[in-house]
Structures are given as C-alpha cells and as structure tokens.
C-alpha cells in the first residue's frame, strides 16, 4: 500500500474530484482523498492524502489557506467569477483611489458572515446549490461564519474602459468563499464586482512553489520514483504539536488517557518526530481521538 501526503498543483479546468480520480489511476491506489475543495477554474495547492494518511485528512481540510487573486470592479457575474454571465454593471470612475480600496479591505479582516454563492457545492435540502442555479431556481442560502486573517492589495490599480482591476492576497479559514469576498468588497465600494482570477498559494502547510502537477507525478511513477510522497506528519501541520515520552507513547498505544501540560482543544502527539496520535481533552486528561501507530 502507498501512504503519504501529496502536494498537488491542481490545474484549471478540473474539479478536485477529477484530480483524485486521476491520481487513483496513476498510483493504482483506491484510498485517496483531498484536503479542501478547489473550484474548477482555480489553480493551486490541493493537499492529497494517500493510504493511511487519509486518517488525517480532516485536519488538512480544517487548515487555513493562502490565496492570491484579482478583483474586477465594474461588473458582477452569475458565478461571482470570470466564467459567469454578466448580471450587473456600473462604470468605475477614474477618481476611485487605492486608499479607499485598502480601507474597505481592512473592514473584512476578522470574523465575518458569508452567504455561499449559488454556484457552489453547499447543500440545501439535500441538493447542491449549483443544481438549483442551473435549474433557474432560487433557494434560501445558509450563512456561515469564516475568519479572514489578512486581506490586502498587492498591485497598483488598473482603471480602463470603466473597469478597475487589482491583485490581492488573502489568508483565511476553511470554508471561505474568496469569490464572495470579492463581490462583498465591491458592494462596500459601491460597484458590482467579481473575482477575475485566483490561485491557492498554500494550504495545510504545503506551498505552491513545491507543488507537482498530475503529469509530473505520472512521469515520476513511471520511473518508480515516489519521492513526491510526503510523510503523514504534513497532514497535521496546523495542529499544536506535543512531544511525548516513551512511557506516554506506550499508554497512548493502548488507548489510555495521559496528563499533559497544555490546554489546547486538540493536539498532534509526536514521539521521536513521528506522529503518534491526535489527542483531545477528557476531564483533566488527554485521550486519543485517533491512534496512528
């Protein structure tokens, strides 16, 4: 069995599920999952868990994300990104300042409420929102709380033909719709807007500069080179780390609780740099949620 974490560079034009399906064929391994869905048009880091590493996939999904993208002010689309049809437009005046945009962006930093876009995989009454959207049906969408750690402009403004474009970087929690963030920013500035480009730069401790495409992985497998597989420890990079003694590790291996000098709600327990377990508090002790040895 193949085990490990893959830092996959998902390319535009495929869903996260497509990427997993293709990796199953490349690796000849059925037990594969991804840690955090990427929209089909989005390029970037898609953490992949293979074999035993799928046991930590939920912690990869929970991890924060870093994106770079582009906002276009001047028109909104059905999908909130560049692939949709125009539903509203308003020419941007040349006097729109970078300072006004920066101030508006700062208003989103912290915990905010978002309403998922209609073209998304969020389920309402057992159906995905995009299924309602494609059928031309409207449905009440549940709001969600997400956290924006940083949201900043990283390029000059380009204002021409009634549109304003600029690049941005955002660090955010799981569940954040960056498309919706772009739309809501435009609303604050008084313009219809959409996200015109997006790239996920980092997720679950994995960075885009080190990511490999499906074609690169397939070529390595053909050469019997599996060096692209990262240790399972990468899957818990966002969890607080707790070093265990040999005696504590033995207790954990039997599923017994241990005393730890921490108050974290969840910790990744290590012994000699190897992931041993995921621990959670139970009364005054820490009990294994998952034992990985």
Catalytic residues: 39
Structural contact between residues 15 and 130, judged by C-beta atoms closer than 8 angstroms: no
Coil, helix or strand at residue 177: coil
Q: Given the structure tokens 């009454």, which residue do they identify?
A: 125
Q: Smallest Cα–Cα separation from 203: which of 64, 98, 74?
A: 64
b/e map of 265-280 (b: 16 or more CB within 10 Å)? eebbbbbeeebbbbbe
What is the β-pairing status of strands 110-114 and 144-153? antiparallel
Q: What are the DSSP calls for 223-277, one per residue? A: TT--TTPBPGGGGGTTSPEEE--HHHHHHHHTT--B--S---SSEEEEETTEEEE
Distance CA 3, CA 7 (A): 13
* Torsion angle of C-alpha atoms 115, 39, 62, 273, degrees rounded to 10: -170
Tokens of 231: 């240790």
Helix (H) or strand (E) holding 20: helix 16-27
Phi, psi of 186 (to 5 degrees): -60, -40
């Amino acid at each position: 069995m193949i085990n490990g974490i893959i830092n996959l560079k998902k390319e535009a034009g495929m869903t996260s599920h497509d990427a997993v399906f293709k990796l199953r064929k490349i690796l000849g391994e059925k037990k594969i999952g991804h840690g955090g869905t990427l929209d089909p048009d989005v390029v970037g880091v898609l953490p992949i868990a293979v074999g035993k590493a799928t046991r930590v996939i939920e912690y990869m999904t929970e991890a924060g994300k870093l994106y770079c993208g582009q906002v276009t002010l001047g028109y909104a689309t059905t999908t909130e990104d560049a692939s949709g049809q125009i539903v509203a437009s308003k020419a941007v005046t040349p006097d729109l300042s970078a300072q006004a945009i920066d101030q508006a962006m700062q208003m989103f930093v912290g915990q905010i409420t978002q309403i998922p876009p209609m073209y998304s995989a969020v389920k309402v009454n057992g159906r995905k929102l995009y299924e309602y959207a494609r059928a031309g049906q409207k449905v009440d969408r549940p709001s969600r709380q997400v956290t924006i750690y940083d949201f900043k402009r990283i390029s000059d403004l380009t204002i021409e033909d009634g549109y304003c474009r600029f690049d941005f970087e955002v660090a955010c929690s799981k569940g954040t719709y960056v498309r919706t963030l772009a739309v809501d920013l435009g609303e604050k500035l008084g313009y219809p807007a959409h996200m015109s480009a997006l790239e996920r730069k980092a997720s679950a401790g994995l960075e885009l500069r080190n990511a490999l495409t499906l074609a690169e992985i397939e070529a390595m497998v053909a050469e019997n080179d599996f060096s692209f597989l990262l240790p399972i420890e990468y899957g818990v990079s966002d969890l607080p780390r707790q070093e265990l003694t040999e005696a504590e590790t033995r207790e954990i291996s039997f599923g017994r609780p241990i005393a730890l000098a921490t108050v974290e709600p969840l910790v990744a327990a290590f012994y000699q740099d190897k992931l041993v377990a995921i621990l959670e508090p139970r009364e005054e002790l820490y009990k294994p949620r998952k034992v990985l040895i």
